Structure 1
Amino acid sequence: MSSSDDSSRTRRGGEWLLTLALLVALLAALMPVIGVVKPGGWLLGSVVIATLVLAAGYGARRLRLPAVAVSLIEAAVWVAMMTAVFFRDTALLWVIPTPETIRAVPPLFEDAMDEIILGAAPLEDTVPLAFLIVGSMGLLTIIVDHVVLTARMPLLASIGIVAVSLIPAIAVPREVDVVAFVFLAVAILFLIRVETRSRERPLERDAERTAGVPATALGIGAIAVVVAVVATPLLPQPLMRAGTGLGGGPGIDATLQLGDDLRRPEQIEVLRVRSNAPSPPYLRATTLSRFEGGVWEPDRVRTVPLDSEFGLGSVSIAEDVRLAEYTTDVEVMSLASVWLPVPYPAVEVTGLDGRWAAVPYNRTVISQSGTTQGQAYTVVSNQARPTLEQIRSYNAGGPELRDETTQVPPETPEIVTELAAEVTAGATNDYDRLIAMQRWFRGGEFRYSLEAPVEEGFDGSGAEAVAEFLERRQGYCIHFASAFALMARTLHMPTRIVIGYLPGVSTTDSVDDQVVYSVSSSLLHAWPEVYFDNAGWIPFEPTAGLGVPTSFSPAASLPGETDDPNSATPGATPSPTPSSEQGPNGPLDPRDEALPGTPLGTTNPLPMLGVVLLILFVLALPFLARELRRRQLTLAARGGDAAAAWLIVQDAAIDAGIAVPASETPRAFAQRLIDQHGAPADDMYTLVVAIERASYAPAGGRDYWMGDAAMDAATAVRAQLLAAAPPARRILAVIAPRSLIVRPGSVYAGGAPATR
């Protein structure tokens, strides 16, 4: 068998293994998605589409088709599978798209984006989400297949794969999944190693001199993985969580995982609010009604354009119930969220920039493009103000409510039901039952605490967490709101939880005789609402030490038809309790300790210093990686590996912007460097002799060893090439060397790629 046949067979075997390594890396990048979307059909579809695309590419390359044809064949496989799985009813022969198929794509994509924006992790495995994930996986496979197997740039592809794997962690911040990280790291190292081996010619080298190369690479990779796993938890956390804000500010976490936000020591001013209401209002962002025992999920409801006739609209209540109209002006200082903070119940919102939609079901406003950052807007709200006699005569419930507002999980602990019945035993109507529960939570038996739940190992809103909270009787707004809402449901009352902001702290500023209130990020809050027939959704405040509890005035205390400013404002507009006022457990609001006119919090410089050092370290990674690679090549060249010395020169040429085509012989390449780039002739000839001897000398011969001479020549040529390059090119060669991602002989190294 000829040597050319052996080389061809080696390349084919290497390409098959490289395809397999790429599939493993793609599957490793898919693992973090499992924590964001519940496993289902999308997972199987992603594996199948990646396998089919890579198999099609491998088969096309075996037929020696051009790179463009390979990518087109892979794209055809992707289109055929996506059509067969998601659009076969509109396709020709189930796999060929038609105009009707193309028209069906945008609505499905929009549904998927709505589920991502409005949903709470882990998302349900729905058809729109499966379409988005499977389709994205197929496109990613086509791209990285071209980058790795055609352009021969595995490091660039690895960066892309790692970036894709980070998206779920950015979208839903959580602890590092060590298993998934290690699997991804090993898959990336395996991919790079297999690609490197597939490019090597089958030269017979001394086993003693080459055995250390893969061991060294494996050792470096293992050390990197161990250091990353150990060091990541020790790194200072940034001031804002990347997953909660998009575009320059903190955001609103609609998954009821607010503990990290509330425990954050830095207080950032997110809003400025002024209103003609008797007291500054609560600002709602979204509501959560669905509860199956594990977590409260945001409402998935229909949206309509904000300015349409079916938008917010008027408030529907009984004719004899008073409506108080208030106007609130909100200026966003530092808040990047798709949900717009508005007082309840909003009937009109003006002054917004961009495209916004209204959710009639819960009277919230959501962005269709962009975020709340930089917005300034005015909200008109019509607040129902029934008398005490009216609210006591109404029942909690109504025929038009969704079933999920009354759902009680079957595994709800008995302590929830028993305490609800015990606390409300003396009440004769639904309102008095709710007031009894509110008074019980705020009466001194419960303590507001941001730390105790974490120390005891529970920090959630599920049924088990509620039971634990009712036993320990200390927690924060999530626990109070969840317990109140679930206990009310056991009494057959429809409830939901609202995510939004508490009223802010008054400042010394005023506009049109209205005091401006400052709302900080630590005032992110959750509170329950109960639906009353004839009065609508009524908010309650069970959290100990926060705001003013909901109450309504008797009809006899109301002077005619005017609002009594001395009466307690019901429900949605309790004012924050001053931090100086003492409750049974100390300051009533431990989050409002900043005084008006003073900074919202002192900044610890150490986290910022850590972030700066981390950024500098990341920027230095290309230089460190290049130096590590050069030292490895130097050691190999000193040991007699002429190919390593030759590769040092090729890398230097790539860094200096010199073409290194695969079609050029070593002698022709050396002559070009001498003639056009001032490379020292003697040193270049030494390198040419060394590489030619290594290529054509008898196997195992030591008489042709030129280790030190070849390495000295490579060092001199490298220095001359970089010295002759323009200053900008020399700087890039240090801080961002192209040779890290551009391989000699590849398409991006200049010239035609090597022929097969």
Structure 2
Amino acid sequence: MSSAEAGRRTRARGGERLLALAILAALLAALLPVVRVVDPGWWLVGALLLSALVLAAGYGARRYRLPAVAVTLIEAAVWVGFMTLVFLRETALLWVIPTLDTVRTVPLLVEAAMEEITVGAAPLESTLALAFMVVGAMGLLTIVVDHVVVTARMPLLASVGIIAVSLIPAIAAPSDVDVVGFVFLAVTILFLIRAETRSREKPREREAERTAGVPATAVGIGAIAIVIAVVATPVLPQPGARAGSGIGAGPGIDATLQLGDDLRRPQEIEVLRLRTDSPTVPYLRATTLTRFEGGTWKPDRSQTVSLESDRAFGGVEAADGVRVTDYSAHIDVVQLDSPWAPVPYSPVGVSGLIGPWGAVPYNRTVATTDGSTQGQSYQVDYAVTRPSLEQMRATSAVGAQARDETSQVPADIPPIIAELAAEVTADEPTDYDRLTALQRWFRGSDFAYSLESPVEDGFDGSGAEAVARFLDVREGYCIHFASAFALMARTLHMPSRVVVGYLPGNPTTESVDGQPVFSVMSSQLHAWPEVFFEGVGWVSFEPTSGLGVPTTFSSDATLPGQTTDPSTGAPRPTTTPTALGDAAEIDPESQQQGAGAGSVRPPVDPLPTLGMVVGVVLLLSLPFLLRELRRRQQQAAARAGDAAAAWQSVQEAAIDVGIAVPASETPRAFANRLIADHGAPASDMSTVLRAIERASYSRAGRRSEWMGDAAAEAAAAVRTALLASVSPWRRILALVAPRSLVIRPGSVYAGTAPVRAG
């Protein structure tokens, strides 16, 4: 082997090594966003190590000029060996050879990881199953990207896949735009594309390329991407944690109250739809938490009886003179997988549920031991107790006949809870006034709703210590407000418990049988306290600052739930309910009128919509802009004497309109085919052909200044003729979605030359 040939091979291997490093850097940029949804751990090192081993195996196999299939099989063998050694060696032969037990274990790990992803909240704990899923997926992605980039020579297509993978964490846990991460990803993608191009160039071509403006093209592409990310993205509607978010945002209900992470998961879906004949929309309760053991609230044991049983619900007991009103509600579950069926309080009958559903008589909830709410549609008949303000003040909560566990307080409860309860209620004459004083205090300016402050200050959950910390910091979410209120009520010797359920939904434009339909979102999952009053029953309160409607009762001067309009003296619906179960006022007339005359709607901010339109337009026009930028760079290089740039411009124009550009065809045969079959002008095509042939076979290399602007102008004329030779639809597609961005001339995807009859 001559020294010149050895030098060429050394330079080729150097280009392949650089390409492997570029692929690894791009994969690292795609992997880093995963840290937002999975706690950083050894899985990160494992994923990078596996990617490096796969790329090294591919590089080594190609040095021996093995077929592409063999290279991929070797990389797959490395993946299997690594995954077996790290995760499944106890079931493997010699730690790396999978056995039948190894194969059986894989679905179990995948199933466990999927369950953690489904029910967990970001950031997820780095468990063995989750690490197996992430590391394995990273290895498979490496094999695919390596094949697409190195074997198929389609770096842009691989870049699209890498970018798509990097967006998955942002979809799972939306947050503010990570400009630094995006710029890093953009730089690695550009580095990958450039490394792939250099790996196919000869040394002389690289020198010419530097004068042809390829670095400027890369800078231009990067600038467009960064402008879109930094300028357009901030004006789009930003997902994030919502003030008023409830206990979670997943498709189920977690009643443990250990849900700080779920609160900070900002996904939102519609869980159910509700309509009712009540003048107000009720809160929907799933279950209650009465026992306060080990410093935390425990869900009530759900021993059920048949919904048809006389012991299921029974009637609502109330003292003489306390008004009870009957209503019905219809609930359609859209996407909620829960063993509790949300119902208004207090249900007296439930119909339409399919499966082994039963009633829990103690807390008047509906549950199942073997089923789900998913796809259910049911009707609830419920009764609302409506005492007057005077009746509430005459009723005692202290010493009310409820279960002992409703008034138990741990002996080691932090003193601040009882001290503040006594201080806030010191001047109030009745139990009801004491509780409304607590409610006002929590909803006042001293407290703020926050999803982040609890975590930043080192506390979470609903235990006594967390409540004490919350009362000190005075920032928290619904769990803290509800738990603090219930514990403080118990220190005042009042039976209390915590309810988990949903806030009233949002009105829609739909109505059924004259009843407006309300949509309940996953972010409206909520917790609130209840206190038991003799002769009235469990009364709900809303202490969470900025959420729901505070509980109030009307005086005997008006009907319960009504006030008097001072302008007419006529009664009108109140904006505050007589109990928490009446939480959102329904106005059927305004629901039916929509935006008709006389309705007042808040002004609409056009910026989010405009920003979205601009973002979509920029995204759709990006392929055209990139192709146009590349064409102009090629034209400038051709005018400077680069014959290869002019020839490549013709090749890419042919690919854009669907003409095959195989590697096996000589430039002259390709030129003749364009002239004969596709209407390319013979004189212009001949000019470009002479330029590339002269540059290929002369000592001057690719540069041929003697041609002047002729090659550039001829290449532009050929491109115009090729576009004119196809149908208008094909022409538009060639401009807005140019295939040459992902298909390189001479690649296996560029097509084969047609076979001509002898």
Give the TM-score of the pair, scaled to structure 1. Answer: 0.72
Q: What per-residue deviation string (whole Å, max 9, x for no partner) do you get for residues 394-453 of structure 1? A: 344899xxxxx99x9xxxxx9x861444315899xxxx9998985443135633899x76
Aligned counterparts of 1:231 and 1:747: Cα–Cα separation in 2: 38
**1:202 Cα deviation after fit:** 2.5
Deviations 1:676-699 (A, max 9, x none): 223222222221221122223224
For 1:354-381, what per-residue CA distance to the aligned partner results, in whole angstroms no more than 9, with x for missing partners?
x9999x9997799999977xx6445799
Query: CA–CA distance in 2 between the matches of 1:732 and 1:4?
Result: 43
Corresponding residue for residue 169 of structure 2: 168
Distance 1:495 1:732 in 2: 64
CA distance in 2, matches of 1:350, 1:498: 22
How far off is 1:214 after superposition? 4.3
CA distance in 2, matches of 1:110, 1:311: 30
Residues 342-361 of structure 1 aligned to structure 2 (within 5 Å): 342-343=342-343
Secondary structure of the 2:331 match is strand
Moved more, 474-483 or 16-25: 474-483
CA distance 1:730–1:606, change in 2 (3 Å): same
For residues 318-362 of structure 1, give each alpha carbon's deviation from its aligned partner in whole angstroms, at most 9, with x where no partner exists. Answer: x99978699853135xx6565687228999998689x9999x999
CA–CA distance in structure 2, aligned partners of residues 661 and 370 of structure 1: 58
Letter in 1 for 2:685: M
What does residue 580 of structure 1 align with?
575
Task: Tell me, yes or no, if structure 1 residue 12 matches structure 2 residue 13.
Answer: yes
1:731-752 Cα shifts (integer Å, max 9, x gaps)? 2101111001101111110139
Query: Aligned-pair distance for 1:630?
Result: 0.6
How many Å separate the matches in 2 of 1:635 and 1:368?
69
Counterpart of 2:389 in structure 1 is none
What CA RMSD, in Å, does the superposition of the two structures yield over aligned residues?
5.9
Alpha-carbon shift at residue 160 of structure 1 (Å): 0.9
> Structure 2 CA distance, aligned partners of 1:356 and 1:135?
40
Q: 1:110 and 2:137 equivalent?
A: no
| Closer, same or farther: CA 280–143 of 1 in aligned 2, 3 Å | same
Asked if the contact 1:283/1:503 (under 8 Å) is kept, the reply is no
Q: Give secondary structure in 2 for the equivalent of 1:748.
A: coil
1:209-228 superposed matches below 5 A? 210-211=210-211, 213-224=213-224, 226-228=226-228
Q: Are residues 647 and 485 of structure 1, via their aligned partners in 2, closer, same or farther at CA, if it must alter by over 3 Å?
A: farther
Distance 1:370 1:471, change over 3 A: closer
Shift of 1:646: 0.6
1: CA distance, partners of 2:742 / 2:706: 30
Q: Which runs of structure 2 are paired with 1:559-708 in the superposition (5 Å)?
A: 580-581=575-576, 596-597=590-591, 599=594, 604-699=605-700, 705-708=706-709
SS at match of 1:686: helix
3-state secondary structure, aligned to 1:543: coil
In structure 1, C-alpha distance between the alignment counterparts of 2:625 and 2:48, rounded to whole Å? 35
Question: Is the Cα–Cα contact under 8 Å of residues 46 and 134 in structure 1 kept in the other structure?
Answer: yes
- Counterpart of 1:122 in structure 2 is 123
Contact 1:527 1:541 in 2 (8 A): no
Change (3 A) 1:523 1:214: closer
Q: Say if 1:441 and 1:480, in contact at 8 Å, map to a contact too.
A: no
Q: CA offset at residue 167 of structure 1?
A: 0.9
Offset, 1:496 = 7.0
Distance 1:438 1:57, change over 3 A: farther
Q: C-alpha separation between the residues in 2 aligned to 1:490 and 1:92?
A: 63
Kept in 2, the 8 Å contact 1:351–1:376? The answer is yes
* Cα pair distance change 1:351/1:81, threshold 3 Å: farther
The one-letter code sitting in structure 2 at the alignment partner of 1:446 is: R
Aligned counterparts of 1:672 and 1:298: Cα–Cα separation in 2: 80
Q: Which residue matches 1:230?
A: 230
Q: Is the 8 A contact 1:481 1:543 kept in 2?
A: yes
Distance 1:64 1:84 in 2: 29
Q: CA deviation at 1:174?
A: 1.0
Give 1:471 shift.
Answer: 6.6
Q: Is the contact between residue 280 and residue 586 of structure 2 (CA under 8 Å) also seen in structure 1?
A: no
Match of 1:422 in 2: 420
1:742 matched to 2:740: no
Instruction: Give 3-state SS (helix, strand or coil) of 1:122's partner.
Output: coil
Give the Cα separation in 2 of the matches to 1:543 and 1:615: 39
**Alignment gaps of 5+ in structure 1:** 292-296, 302-309, 400-404, 409-413, 552-564, 568-576
Distance 1:331-1:700 versus aligned 2 partners, 3 A rule? closer
Normalised TM-score (structure 2): 0.71
Find out whether 1:394 has 2:396 as its counterpart: no
How far did residue 192 of structure 1 move?
1.0
CA distance in 2, matches of 1:347, 1:104: 48
User: What fraction of aligned residue pairs are identical, expressed as a percent?
Assistant: 46
> C-alpha distance in 2, partners of 1:299/1:43?
36
Amino acid at match of 1:751: T
Which SS does the other structure have where 1:749 is aligned? coil
Quickly say closer, same or farther: Cα 1:646–1:441, change in 2 above 3 A.
farther
- 1:580 is matched by which residue type in structure 2? T
The CA deviation at 1:464 is 6.3
Q: Name 1:562's counterpart in structure 2.
A: none
Paired residue secondary structure (2:133): helix
Distance 1:485 1:343 in 2: 22
Give, as a single letter, the amino acid of the residue that structure 2 aligns with 1:216: A
Q: Displacement of 1:721 after TM fit?
A: 1.7
User: Could you say which residue in structure 2 is the equivalent of 1:526?
Assistant: 526
In 2 relative to 1, CA 660–505 (structure 1 residues): closer, same or farther, beyond 3 Å? closer
State the Cα distance separating 1:30 from its structure 2 match: 0.9
Distance 2:457 2:585 in 1: 24
After TM superposition, list the pairs within 5 Å mapping 1:192-341 onto structure 2. Answer: 192-203=193-204, 210-211=210-211, 213-224=213-224, 226-237=226-237, 271-274=273-276, 281-283=282-284, 328-331=329-332
Deviation at 1:123, TM superposition (A): 1.0
CA distance in 1 between counterparts of 2:110 and 2:28 reads 23
Amino acid in structure 2 at the alignment position of 1:394: R
Q: Which residue pairs with 1:146 in the alignment? A: 147
1:723 is matched with which residue? 724
Structure 1 distance, partners of 2:492, 2:74, is 62
Query: Cα distance, 1:151 vs. partner?
Result: 0.8
Match of 2:504 in 1: 502
Deviations 1:180-217 (A, max 9, x none): 2221111111111111111222225766x734624313
Q: 1:349 to 1:609 in 2, by over 3 A?
A: farther
Query: In structure 1, what residue type is equivalent to 2:191?
Result: F
Does the residue aligned with 1:89 lie in a helix, a strand or coil? helix
8 A contact 1:283–1:344 mirrored in 2? yes
SS at match of 2:706: coil
Contact 1:38 1:125 in 2 (8 A): yes
Measured in 1, the distance between the counterparts of 2:174 and 2:526 equals 20
CA distance in 2 between partners of 1:17 and 1:141 (Å): 16
One-letter amino acid of the structure 1 residue matched with residue 697 of structure 2: Y
The 1-side partners of 2:371 and 2:86 are apart by: 28
Conservation of the 8 A alpha-carbon contact between 2:482 and 2:498: no
**Mapped contact 2:637–2:645 kept (Cα < 8 A):** yes
**What's 2:598 paired with?**
none
Larger Rg: 2
Question: 5+ residue gaps in structure 2?
Answer: 254-258, 317-325, 386-395, 461-466, 533-537, 554-558, 562-571, 596-600, 754-758
**After alignment, is 84-93 or 629-638 more displaced?**
84-93
Aligned residues: 676
SS where residue 60 of structure 2 aligns? helix
Alpha-carbon shift at residue 611 of structure 1 (Å): 2.1
The equivalent of 1:134 in structure 2 is 135
Counterpart of 1:26 in structure 2: which amino acid?
A: L
CA change 1:480–1:744 in 2 (3 A) is: same
